[in-house]
Structure 1
Amino acid sequence: MPRNTHAQSLSRRTVLRGMGTAVALPLLNVMSPTRLLAASASDGKPPLRMGFFYVPNGMHMPDWTPKQDGFKFDLPPTLARIADHQKDINVLTGLTLDGARAHGDGGGDHARSVAAFLTGSHPRKTNGADIQNGISVDQMTAKYVGDKTRFASLELGLETSAQAGNCDSGYSCAYASNMSWRGPTNPMAKEIDPGALFDRLFSGQVVKETKQAISVREKYRKSILDFVLEDAKQLHKTLPPVDQRKLDEYLYSVRDVEKRVGGAEKLRMSEDGVPDYPRPSGVPKELSKHAELMMDMVTLAYQTDSTRILSFMFTNAGSNRSYPDIGVTEGHHESSHHGKSPHKQDNIARINRYHIDRFNYLLSRMKQVPEGNGTLLDNCMLVYGSGISDGDRHNHDDLPIILAGGAGGRIKTGRHIRYQKETPLCNLYVWMMQQMGAKADSFGDSKGPLDKLS
């Protein structure tokens, strides 16, 4: 970190250093447009981020789709869970994912719905090594802007990725458990461990931790921030009051997440109070805690501009996980085939609300982070939804899709927008890619950029 007495201007690349560790900073006011270097938007505004959040098995659509269009619409029961953010989202109705349809391949809608969700492609039906899909929108965009951040993209989730096996009616598990594809035969495996993700974001930045730092931290369970504390104090003195508050709030968030990651598994302690085995993986047994830790990590990754492109799968395609903590003891996939059973439809509605509660947590966290003239959420565009509409019908039209965030003022939010039937979901991706600066006139089965957003 520069040892200037008054930080009138600070590079966006500035980090806090100490004992071989480096921690990135959030966007501060003193990071003026002339010093943002390649990490900034060309006009000096906060950088724009994109994210994709996938839930499996479709939705209970009567509890999802608003009846009114435009700005004045009532939130149905599922969307009512994000009522605090109604002005920050657009509900998009009528979008279609044609690549997830059978097209003569028979069963396998769950695997196809994930494989096609970000690619718009129809995956080759195989459970062997000859998988074939398309490049996904996140990876296509990363080719244009990925070099501006430490991580071109991040692929995250709550269940591990598989690269082989038969997971859905003859479709490879690679399709069912990966939605990000670097190329036709290259699925991008997800990181599901909050501890490992935390280490990627904060332990190896710019310079790798020295063996001495790792040894000390593991032995005494010291925070990463302990090593950069002196640098943080010196920087704090040079900042104006508004940036001092931003720095304090950011470091508190990092410390808080680190503590919760470290407490995800109980440590066995030796007699002298020192842990007798290495740092735990950090994956909590409770799904809600796991999800919230990962959402905290998403916020920090965007806040530090470690990446601008991110994908997140809540569970893999066709997941049959039960949710006993919300009163659903039957499996998710089993319940999605409801056959109009009131009990199973109630199960699906409960699970839908559970998932969107986690997304609501993320939106709340991001909205608490001031950035530029608004918040972190204002400078994002986050897609939340599924590649299946009604899980019983396995249909891929009229998808449940939310677009959250203001995209740096490019989106008029707070609306329910109803599109013409069979409007490609990929139209949305073309529009998003163009906002990110990617040269894209088409993607997948798109017919042009999605209208009505600006």
Structure 2
Amino acid sequence: MSILIKTDKNKWTRRALIRGMGVGAASALLPVLEADAQDSAPKRVIIMTTPNGIAPEVEPVGSQTNWQFGSAASTLNDVRSDITYLRGIDLKTYTTNRIPNDHPPVIHQLLTASDSIDPMDGSNPAVSGTWLASGQSIDQFLADRLMANPATQTRFRSIVAGADCGAFAWQQVYRQPQEPIFPENNAGNLHARIFEGVTPGGGQPDPALIAELARRKSVVDSVQDELNAVLSRVGSADKQKIESHINAIREIEQRLDFDQQSSAGAACEVPNLRGTPGSQDDQHRLKGTNMMDIIANAFACDQTRVATLQWANGASGIRFSSLGIDEGHHDLTHDNFGPNAGKRAQIAGWYAERFKYFIEKLKSIPEGSGSVLDNTVILWTSEHNGAQQHGRTNIPFFLAGGLGGAFNTGQFLDFSGNSLAHNDVYVSLAQGVGLSDVTSFGKASLVRGPVPGLLA
């Protein structure tokens, strides 16, 4: 499969398109292409989560504009001007509505900012894997809104990637309430799906592909009457499941539809995947690096504008032997909590290095007069604070990138004296990508509005 290509940041390969489609077929699209060329660079959002909290040794010291990261995150001081750190952000979905403080009940709240649902009605809930979210996750909300606007549609609505995710992986990202999405952990599979047919540096559409797509008829459209008949006879729960399945099929059709295919900019590259030899944490690093490279280049090729990357999960048994740590990460957050503080800080530093790589990767890809990072925000957070066992207050939130000038960077914003709900961070994300009508997200009673000082 081939996709349409831009030979530079502002010009489509119109001659290639015309050759592939024929003058008559292509002429109707030329005004659309010229309008697209005048658009500013797209805004993009990445959410990166790491397990078992982020050690408090990462917290900055100093004032709002004159500050440095703490010892565990000192590596980020090199890119501090690209980052805003938020202190005093609480998981108020938990603190205002206490449920068992364990991974299965609470993990759903991290990206949805909504209450958790216990289908077991309190029967052994702390160890039950049946807990679900009552809301949609912020990444999927943004993806839906962007895909609903023809000017911001892309070939893929979002990327949901994982590096060594396991038992709790599916509980963070929610397509809809009670409808989790399991992240793709195989970089080879994700790479093949995202970059199928991408021709970096310019090219022309495949005439055979265009002819084939012209002959295709939507599978859903061909059976729409039968679907309507079935939907009219089933209950609301079954109807929701069927409609969700139909939407998934339509998303696949969109990716095959010529009119929906995205434009690859001059900086579009297809990344090479790295092997994953070595120790357990070295393999973990390389798996995550592959995913970060895929996301960064998918953005440069405008294949999508929303992505999540989940490193491991709340029960992570990864041993960071390169740091001289023999215990699993999860065990360190429970066993000998005080004495193991230094080891947890080392692991926080290890993940800070990964965050820095992501920042520098996006910063290395030119776009307009700046870089892809300038038009992106990477949010890094965790399900609890790392200063306590499953502490749900003062959860670290790192934000890197200016989101096309929407976000202020180089700041340390401290709300510990009057904490905010993490719902407000997600309202800020929505408004930052241009959704000015979004004044609430998740559990509405917790929302104050966008984070003060974050939006430019």
What's the TM-score once normalised by structure 2's chain length? 0.71
Relative to structure 1, the CA distance from residue 185 to residue 111 in structure 2 (aligned partners, 3 Å threshold; closer, same or farther) is same
- Equivalent position of 1:440 in the other structure: 438
Query: What is the CA–CA distance in structure 1 between the aligned matches of 2:8 and 2:91, rounded to whole Å?
Result: 50
Q: CA deviation at 1:151?
A: 0.9
Match of 2:452 in 1: 451
Query: Cα RMSD between the aligned structures?
Result: 3.5
Contact 1:48-1:380 within 8 A present in 2 as well: yes
- Equivalent of 2:160, from 144, 155, 160? 155
Offset of residue 13 of structure 1 = 10
SS at match of 1:383: strand
Q: Secondary structure at the match of 1:421?
A: coil
Q: CA deviation digits over 1:408-437, x for unaligned, max 9?
A: 112221111112433111111112112223
Say if 2:41 is the partner of 1:46.
Answer: yes
Amino acid at match of 1:151: F
Give 1:79's aligned residue.
73
Map 1:17-416 onto structure 2 (within 5 A): 35=33, 44-61=39-56, 63-101=57-95, 103-108=97-102, 110-125=103-118, 126=120, 127=128, 131-146=132-147, 148-160=153-165, 162=167, 173=168, 177-203=170-196, 247=266, 250-251=268-269, 254=270, 257-258=271-272, 260-261=273-274, 263=275, 286-337=283-334, 339=336, 341-342=338-339, 344-390=340-386, 392-416=388-412
The one-letter code of the counterpart of 2:414 is R
Residue in structure 1 matched with residue 421 of structure 2 by the alignment: 424
Q: CA deviation at 1:452?
A: 0.5
Number of equivalent positions? 362
CA distance in 1, matches of 2:58, 2:106: 19
Letter in 1 for 2:145: Y
Q: Partner amino acid for 2:418?
A: K
The one-character-per-residue Cα deviations of 1:262-285 (angstroms, maximum 9, x if unpaired) are x558xxxxxxxxxxxxxxxxx997
Q: Kindly indicate whether the alpha-carbon contact (under 8 Å) linking 2:82 and 2:410 is maintained by their aligned counterparts in 1.
A: yes
Residue type of the partner of 1:450?
A: V
- Seen in structure 2, the aligned counterparts of structure 1 residues 36 and 388 have a Cα distance that, compared at 3 Å, is farther
* CA 1:409–1:324: 2 relative to 1, 3 Å: same
What secondary structure is seen at the aligned counterpart in 1 of 2:287?
A: helix
1:204: how far off? 5.1
Pairwise CA distance, 1:325 = 2.0
Please give the alpha-carbon distance, in whole angstroms, between the structure 2 residues aligned to 1:13 and 1:400: 47
- Contact 1:139/1:180, CA 8 A, preserved across alignment: yes
Distance 1:115 1:12, change over 3 A: farther
Q: Is the 8 A contact 2:165 2:310 kept in 1?
A: no
How far off its partner does 1:3 sit? 12
- Which residue identity does 1:367 align to in structure 2? K
Tell me, yes or no, if the aligned pair for 2:105 and 2:131 is still in contact at 8 Å: no
Do the aligned partners of residues 285 and 59 (structure 1) sit closer, same or farther apart at CA in structure 2, a change above 3 Å counting? closer
| 1-structure distance, mates of 2:14, 2:158 | 18
Deviations 1:76-132 (CA, angstroms, capped at 9, x unpaired): 112212222100000110111122448343231x33443111101121234365744
C-alpha distance in structure 1 between counterparts of 2:3 and 2:11, whole Å: 8
| Secondary structure of the structure 2 residue equivalent to 1:409 | coil
Percent identity for Structure 1 against Structure 2: 26
Deviation per CA, 1:385-409: give whole Å up to 9, x if none: 1121135332211111101101111
Give the direction of change, closer, same or farther, for the CA distance of 1:208–1:401 in structure 2 (3 Å limit). farther
Q: Secondary structure of 1:382's partner? A: strand
SS for the counterpart of 1:384 is: strand
Cα gap change, 1:14 to 1:186, in 2 (>3 Å): farther
Q: Identify if the C-alpha distance between structure 1 residues 339 and 144 changes in structure 2 by more than 3 Å, giving closer, same or farther.
A: same
Kindly tell me: are residues 432 and 13 of structure 1, through their superposed partners in 2, closer, same or farther at Cα, counting changes over 3 Å?
Answer: farther
Amino acid at match of 1:190: P
- Inter-partner Cα distance in structure 2 for 1:3 and 1:35: 11
Counterpart of 1:75 in structure 2: which amino acid? Answer: F
Give the Å deviation of 1:368.
0.7
* Structure-2 change in CA distance of 1:285 and 1:331 (3 Å): closer
Distance 1:57 1:99, change over 3 A: same
Would the alpha carbon gap of residues 389 and 87 (structure 1) be closer, same or farther in structure 2, given more than 3 Å must change? Answer: same
Q: Which amino acid aligns with 1:298?
A: I
The answer to whether the 8 Å contact 2:109/2:133 transfers is no
Provide the residue aligned with 1:218 in structure 2. none
Give, in angstroms, the shift of residue 300 of structure 1: 0.5
- Structure 1 CA distance, aligned partners of 2:363 and 2:302? 16
Q: Give the Cα separation in 1 of the matches to 2:55 and 2:344.
A: 6
Q: Is residue 322–residue 330 contact of structure 1 (8 Å, CA) maintained in 2?
A: yes
Structure 2 residue ranges without an equivalent (≥5): 18-29, 121-127, 199-204, 210-263
Match in the other structure for 2:245? none
- Give the aligned residue type for 1:202: F
Q: What does the per-residue CA deviation read over 1:277-317, in whole Å, with 9 as the maximum and x for residues that have no partner?
A: xxxxxx99711111111111111011111111111111112
1:325-353 CA distance string (max 9 Å, x none): 221110111111265533x1111011111
In structure 1, stretches of 5+ residues that fail to align are 17-31, 163-172, 211-242, 266-282
Tell me how far 1:33 sits from its aligned partner.
Answer: 11
Residues 289 and 422 of structure 1, relative CA distance in 2, 3 Å threshold: same
* Structure 1 residue 57: Cα displacement: 1.0
